[in-house]
Amino acid sequence: MKSSKSFHDKFHNYAQRETYPNLLIKGLPFIVTLLIITILSFFFLYSPNPLSIVPNQDLEIIQKHSQKDEFDHAKTFVPNQEHDTIEEHQHVSPSELHKEKKTCDIFKGHWIRGIRGSSYYTNSSCPTIPDSKNCFKHGRMDSDFLNWKWKPENCELPMFDPKFFLNIVRGKKMAFIGDSVARNHMDSLLCLLSQEETPIDIHKDSEDKFRTYYFPKHDFTLMILWSRFLIEGEERIVNGTGSGIFDLQMDKVDEDWAKVIPELDYAIISGGHWFFRLMFLHEGGKLLGCIYCSEKNVKNYDIDFPLGLAFKTSLKYINNCKDCRKRKLFTIIRTFAPAHFENGIWNTGGYCNRTGPMNEEEVDLNRFELKLRNVQMEEFKEVKNNNKGNTRFEILDVTNAMVMRPDGHPGEHWGNKWMKGYNDCTHWCLPGVIDVWNEFFLAVLQRENDKQR
Ligand X SMILES: *[C@@H]1O[C@H](CO)[C@@H](O)[C@H](O)[C@H]1NC(C)=O
Provide DSSP, 172-235.
Answer: -EEEEEESHHHHHHHHHHHHHHHTTSPPEEEEE-TTSSEEEEEEGGGTEEEEEEE-SSSEEEEE
Is there binding between residue 95 and ligand X (CB under 6 A)? no
Active-site entry in 110, 218, 340, 427: 427
Whether the ω angle into residue 406 lies within 30 degrees of 0, i.e. cis, is: no
Is there binding between residue 123 and ligand X (CB under 6 A)? yes
Kind of pairing between the strands at 279-283 and 286-291: antiparallel
Is there binding between residue 136 and ligand X (CB under 6 A)? yes
User: Which of 103, 239, 297, 452: binder of ligand X (CB under 6 A)?
Assistant: 239
Q: How far is the CB of 351 from ligand X (least distance, A)?
A: 5
Contact assessment for residue 264 and residue 173, using Cβ atoms and an 8 Å cutoff: yes
Q: How far is the CB of 136 from ligand X (least distance, A)?
A: 4
Q: How far is the CB of 274 from ligand X (least distance, A)?
A: 22
206 part of the active site: no
User: Which of 10, 98, 137, 172: binder of ligand X (CB under 6 A)?
Assistant: 137
Is there binding between residue 145 and ligand X (CB under 6 A)? no
Stretches 134-142, 162-170, 212-220, 373-381: which one binds ligand X (CB under 6 A)? 134-142
Q: Report the distance separating Cα 442 and Cα 165, nearest Å.
A: 6
Is there binding between residue 119 and ligand X (CB under 6 A)? no
Q: Report the distance separating Cα 428 and Cα 255, nearest Å.
A: 28
Active-site entry in 52, 132, 180, 270: 180
Is there binding between residue 132 and ligand X (CB under 6 A)? no
Stretches 49-57, 88-96, 131-139, 247-255: which one binds ligand X (CB under 6 A)? 131-139
Q: Report the distance separating Cα 357 and Cα 110, nearest Å.
A: 10
Beta bridge partner(s), residue 148: 113
Q: Report the distance separating Cα 287 and Cα 306, nearest Å.
A: 13
For residue 101, with 0-12 CB atoms within 10 Å meaning exposed, 13-18 middle and 19 or more buried, which class applies?
Answer: exposed
CA 195, 198, 203, 207 torsion-angle sign? positive
Q: Residues touching ligand X: how many (CB under 6 A)? A: 9
Is there binding between residue 56 and ligand X (CB under 6 A)? no
Specify the residue, 105 or 201, whose C-beta has the smaller distance to ligand X: 201
Specify the residue, 243 or 374, whose C-beta has the smaller distance to ligand X: 243
427 part of the active site: yes
Q: How far is CA 28 from CA 1, 35, 398, in A?
A: 14, 10, 43
Is there binding between residue 26 and ligand X (CB under 6 A)? no
Q: How far is the CB of 119 from ligand X (least distance, A)?
A: 12
Active-site entry in 179, 187, 254, 424: 424
Is there binding between residue 353 and ligand X (CB under 6 A)? yes
User: Which of 145, 210, 351, 422: binder of ligand X (CB under 6 A)?
Assistant: 351
424 part of the active site: yes
User: Which of 238, 323, 381, 388: binder of ligand X (CB under 6 A)?
Assistant: 238
Is there binding between residue 422 and ligand X (CB under 6 A)? no
Stretches 51-59, 95-103, 129-137, 372-380: which one binds ligand X (CB under 6 A)? 129-137
Stretches 80-88, 132-140, 290-298, 440-448: which one binds ligand X (CB under 6 A)? 132-140
For the chain, what is the largest distance between any 2 Cα atoms, rounded to a whole number of angstroms?
65
Is there binding between residue 67 and ligand X (CB under 6 A)? no
Closest CA to 391 of 431, 338, 333: 333
Three-state SS at 448: helix
List Cβ neighbours of 286 (8 Å cut-off, separation of 6 or more): none
Catalytic (active-site) positions: 180, 424, 427
Contacting residues toward ligand X, per CB under 6 A: 123-124, 134, 136-137, 238-239, 351, 353
